[in-house]
Structure 1
Amino acid sequence: MTTVDHIAGHTWHGRKGAIENAFRYGVDYVLLNAETPVNAPRLFGRNRAGLASLWDSDHGGAPGNGKGAAWVRDVLNAHGLPAPATIDLLAQPRILGHVFNPVSFWICRDAQGAVPVIIAEVTNTYGDRHSYLCHRDDLAPIGPTDRLKAQKVFHVSPFQRIEGSYEFRFDIRVDRIGIWIDFTGGNGGVIATLVGTRKSLTVPGLLKACLRRPFGSRRVLALIHWQALKLWWNGATFRARPEPPTKDISR
């Protein structure tokens, strides 16, 4: 059995371009081995109901129809990448049955525990999903100074263009998580970060998170729409949702 880690961290977003906007919010993620039974507090459910829970159906494929870590193994095999020894999932959990993850991460480790591949699983507020396969060209372990690039092909914010590129940076430690995503498109873009300490999930920690940030992902959705309203009010260009890409993963 594996333990569940709790990342009580914060996310920061800063908009690039003529219309500036930035915000910083607290956020709670969990990290666990996605292929083994978990040893977790009773209030946390793994593929079962709980105050907080993490379900395979929410990840690894279309939202609500995910296949969990089996999807990750299929993706790596289809792209000619080595099969991982273990697969960890870093995601916001359901709170009282509701979930929305703007981005989750599949962390693929080799037999030595190093991380040669990470899949960033991006979901927009329209219910569409696309994932980005992140790795070095030589498949060496991803280090905190590596900057991994991917072409953006998926509509996320109606106030950002699709055309452009991402730069991902990951610092995955035993005691801390740091993730930076830098999107540049034309003269604009956005920088998004996720940083937090990594501790074992406990009942007091879970209850404190629910009191400090009640409603879980419902709060996340409300804050997203609040920031969108501010951008619209300040004159940012609104872009209608295009059809999502036909492929569910890209590099």
Structure 2
Amino acid sequence: MTGPDFRATPAIYRTTITHSRTAPLRNVFRYRSYSWYVDIDDQPRLPRPLRPLAGFAPGDHLGEPSRSLRENVDAFLSAHGVDLHGGKVLLLTNARVFGYVFNPLSVFWCYDSDGRQVCVIAEVHNTYGQRHCYLLQPDADGNARVAKEFYVSPFNDVDGEYRMTLPPPGSRLRLAITLERPGQPPFVAAVVGERRDATRREVVAAALAVPLAPLRVSAQIRWQGIRLWARGLPVRPRPEHRRQEAV
């Protein structure tokens, strides 16, 4: 698989996120947000007045906060027998806004020194402050399957398998995660968006279009959980979580 135009970073994707559940209760909701697409070795350096609108910190992602994000990604990959030999890693994520960040899904597209895609890391966060990384080997269309190993929702957490569609973004972004559960219809989350150059004007425009975006996403997910609980959907207990990405 050939890598993308690495000069296309940094960028901002104005997004619409959809969550669709059909059983045992039907619940579909959508919300607007935006995500940053960055080279982890060349993260945006905003002028001081704009820094509250987009902050990037190693502690927001896998590994040890005392190390750089690149060091943490390389350590995680090395623990799984993968060496990029200095290749690029492009990240789609939410940035910190006024010091707060929440990332239900961050995606790392990993390329070797010849620009070939080697793997993808799908990093999932839940609303309990926990995270888990899935190492994927997608096909040419960005499709991969992986066993579910992490408690995300108090209503979805039964054994199952994720079908992830995570093609590298271009002018358009189209991602989908389908949780296939035994004897139940699937739960589907999808993200679509349009690319914008990460100019100073676009940074401000995105922040005004969706104010406090990470906080809004976190609040909206919690609100939907309250609504489902109020409608009688049973809550499944949360197991103890071990940080598998801390290597």
Instruction: Determine whether 1:204 maps to 2:206.
Output: no
Instruction: Give 1:246 deviation, angstroms.
Output: 5.4
Show CA shifts across 1:200-240 (max 9, x none): 11222222222221122111111011111121122211112
Select the residue among 123, 134, 137 that pairs with 2:136. Answer: 134
Q: CA–CA distance in 2 between the matches of 1:246 and 1:57? A: 13
Q: CA–CA distance in 2 between the matches of 1:207 and 1:158? A: 35
Instruction: Give 1:67 deviation, angstroms.
Output: 4.3
Q: Which residue of 1 aligns with 2:80?
A: 79
Task: State how many pairs are aligned.
Answer: 238
Within-5 A mapping of 1:38-187: 38=44, 40=46, 43-45=49-51, 50-61=52-63, 67-83=68-84, 85-136=87-138, 142-144=139-141, 146-186=142-182, 187=184
- Greater percentage in helix: 2
Matched-pair contact (CA < 8 Å) for 2:196–2:202: no
Matched-pair contact (CA < 8 Å) for 1:41–1:202: no
Q: Could you say if the C-alpha distance between residues 241 and 188 of structure 1 is closer, same or farther in structure 2, counting changes exceeding 3 Å?
A: farther
Identity level (%)? 31
Q: CA–CA distance in 1 between the matches of 2:66 and 2:179? A: 28
Q: CA–CA distance in 1 between the matches of 2:67 and 2:18? A: 28
Q: Which residue of 2 aligns with 1:25?
A: 31
Q: CA–CA distance in 2 between the matches of 1:180 and 1:13? A: 10
Select the residue among 12, 32, 39 that pairs with 2:18. Answer: 12
- After the TM superposition, list the runs of 4 or more consecutive aligned residues in structure 1 that deviate by more than 2 angstroms: 36-45, 64-67, 110-116, 245-249
Q: CA–CA distance in 1 between the matches of 2:43 and 2:24? A: 49
Instruction: Give 1:116 deviation, angstroms.
Output: 2.7
Instruction: Give 1:114 deviation, angstroms.
Output: 3.5
Matched-pair contact (CA < 8 Å) for 1:41–1:201: no
Larger mean CA deviation between 1-10 and 13-22 belongs to 1-10
Q: Which residue of 1 aligns with 2:3?
A: none
- Greater percentage in strand: 1
Measured on the aligned residues, the alpha-carbon RMSD in Å equals: 2.3
State the one-letter code of the partner of 2:100: H
Q: Which residue of 1 aligns with 2:211?
A: 214
Q: CA–CA distance in 1 between the matches of 2:116 and 2:59? A: 27
Instruction: Give 1:16 deviation, angstroms.
Output: 3.6
Matched-pair contact (CA < 8 Å) for 2:109–2:168: no
Show CA shifts across 1:72-124 (max 9, x none): 11122121123151011110111111111111111102334332311011111
Q: CA–CA distance in 2 between the matches of 1:16 and 1:245? A: 31
Matched-pair contact (CA < 8 Å) for 1:150–1:167: yes
Q: CA–CA distance in 1 between the matches of 2:98 and 2:43? A: 21
Query: TM-score scaled to structure 1, two decimals?
Result: 0.86
Q: CA–CA distance in 1 between the matches of 2:48 and 2:243? A: 40
Q: Which residue of 2 aligns with 1:223?
A: 220
Which structure 2 residue ranges, 5 or more long, are not aligned?
1-5
Q: CA–CA distance in 2 between the matches of 1:54 and 1:227? A: 28
Query: TM-score scaled to structure 2, two decimals?
Result: 0.87
Matched-pair contact (CA < 8 Å) for 1:94–1:216: no
Q: CA–CA distance in 1 between the matches of 2:111 and 2:165? A: 17
